[in-house]
Amino acid sequence: MSATNQHDKLLVLNRFEKSLIDLNDVYRKHQNYIRAKYKITSLEMEIIQLIVLEGRKKMKEIGQYFNIKLSTLTSIIDKIERQRLVKRVNSKDDRRVVFLEVTSKGNKLYTDYSKYIQVISTMMKSSMDEENFNAFIEGLTKMSELVSPS
């Protein structure tokens, strides 16, 4: 590998490290935004989001998806159930199985929040080509796999 190539690789790596730091700032602001506007944590918003996007879920499925212990999840769900954003419902086929559903209040809240994502998406579309956008999405997915503890 040539010296120039090596140098270029290092430059991109430096830019990447800087991006990670900036992304951390963006993430923190995003958390603050959700907390201030919706009075819930970003994890709680994600749980609501997952159910809105994929339909009702078992507690166990949610725990696995977000990699949280069931005991921790139980208290999180208790909290957003008290806020009337989600509700526990028993399965009709097997009464022992409990599903989590989003209430209409929860749905409304998510719809409002998703406007923010729509704005970001529109700005992304106008400022990057599809190849970069794909790399952005797939790169983050790959990164998430690589830094995942399990």
Nearer residue to another protein within complex by CB, 93 or 130 = 130
How many other CB atoms are found less than 10 A from the CB of residue 100? 22
Site mask for another protein (CB under 8 A), range 78-97, x = bound: --------------------
Residues 5-34 contacting another protein, CB under 8 A: 9, 12-13, 15-17, 19-30, 32-33
**CB contact set of 68 (below 8 Å; sequence gap of 6+):** 43, 76
Cα–Cα dist 109/34, whole Å: 11
**What's the distance, CA 126 to chain centroid?**
23
Cα–Cα dist 144/134, whole Å: 15
Does 144 sit near another protein (CB under 8 A)?
Answer: yes
Site mask for another protein (CB under 8 A), range 31-70, x = bound: -xx--xx----xx--x--xx--x------------xx---
Alpha carbons within 13 angstroms on the beta-carbon side of residue 84 total 3
Residues that bind another protein (CB under 8 A): 9, 12-13, 15-17, 19-30, 32-33, 36-37, 42-43, 46, 49-50, 53, 66-67, 114-125, 127-128, 131-144, 146-149
